[in-house]
Amino acid sequence: MSWQPPGPPSSNYPPAQNRSPLGEARPQFYIKLSRPLITQVLLGVILAVFVVQVLLGFFLFGSWTSLTNTNIEVLVLMGAKVNPLIAQGEVWRLFTAIFLHGGVLHLLFNLYALYALGPLLEGYTGHIRFLTIFLVSGLYGSLLSYALSGPISVGASGAIFGLLGGITVFFLKYRDNFGVQGRAILQNMIVVLVLNLVIGFSSGFIDNWGHIGGLIGGALVTVGIMPRYRQPAIVRLGSQPLEIAERRQVEVAWVIFCLILLVIGVYAVTVIRFQ
């Protein structure tokens, strides 16, 4: 099955190389991309949560420090990852910590990363799959941080590392179909991952285990739910979008499996580390 670069072609006719020796047009397939709607919603939610952080810091503590620095009281109040509290039953902190940030620089870095990576992965996987990858990645990041990192932790970085993992898995599977473009994206993702991990381990202020957990979670869930493409039932000459194979039950089962592993992990860490 031959593909052309993603998105509809600029012409209704295939280029010369997609014609037979007799000059007849041959079928050519492409992937129809999704608009980055969920990416935009997540950007808005993360920004709105930060505004609430700053306002709570001012009204409850009379300080604007949440704007530029970490206000621990506000972060704990709003759901930061605090290991002893999670061990006592506040497991919801594994989720809420994803949307909190320790200052404007932390916020802007993650907003930029989400803005850069989100449309790429959402374009190929679609809205629901993309949101699933983001959330599962964030939860796995919180889990590994809970297991191996003691300090209070917040941020969407784990989820963003999960997007990196998801993009890498996707373009690794379809690297031959996308040709030079796909291999270039794959190489870029690997370079970005390596650089960020090196930077993380060279700094004492970065939750590296949260990043690694997000990366693992994103790659794991993407393996099971990324689209599988097939030729259209009716093939016509020229260009037309590929169909996505119907695998809803398999994909839902895979997400449930990933969440079961998450629950088991939380239980095991709580028992081993805190009891």
pLDDT tens column, 219-262: 999 999 999 998 888 888 778 888 899 999 999 999 999 999 99
By three-state DSSP, how is residue 107 classified? helix
Helix (H) or strand (E) holding 243: strand 243-244
Is the predicted pLDDT of residue 1 greater than 50, yes or no?
no
Identify the pLDDT of residue 8.
36
CB-based contact 227:3 (threshold 8 Å): no
Distance of alpha carbon 130 from alpha carbon 225, whole angstroms = 10
Identify the pLDDT of residue 83.
97
| pTM as predicted | 0.87
CATH H-level superfamily of 36-228+244-274: Rhomboid-like (1.20.1540.10)
Catalytic residue annotation: 157, 211
CB-based contact 145:196 (threshold 8 Å): no
Every domain of the chain and the residues it spans? 36-228+244-274
Distance of alpha carbon 204 from alpha carbon 129, whole angstroms = 34
What stretches of 169-244 adopt beta strand conformation (E)?
A: 229-230, 238-241, 243-244
Confidence label for 114 from pLDDT (cuts 50, 70 and 90):
very high
pLDDT tens column, 169-209: 999 999 888 888 888 888 888 888 888 888 777 766 788 99
pLDDT tens column, 125-134: 999 999 999 9
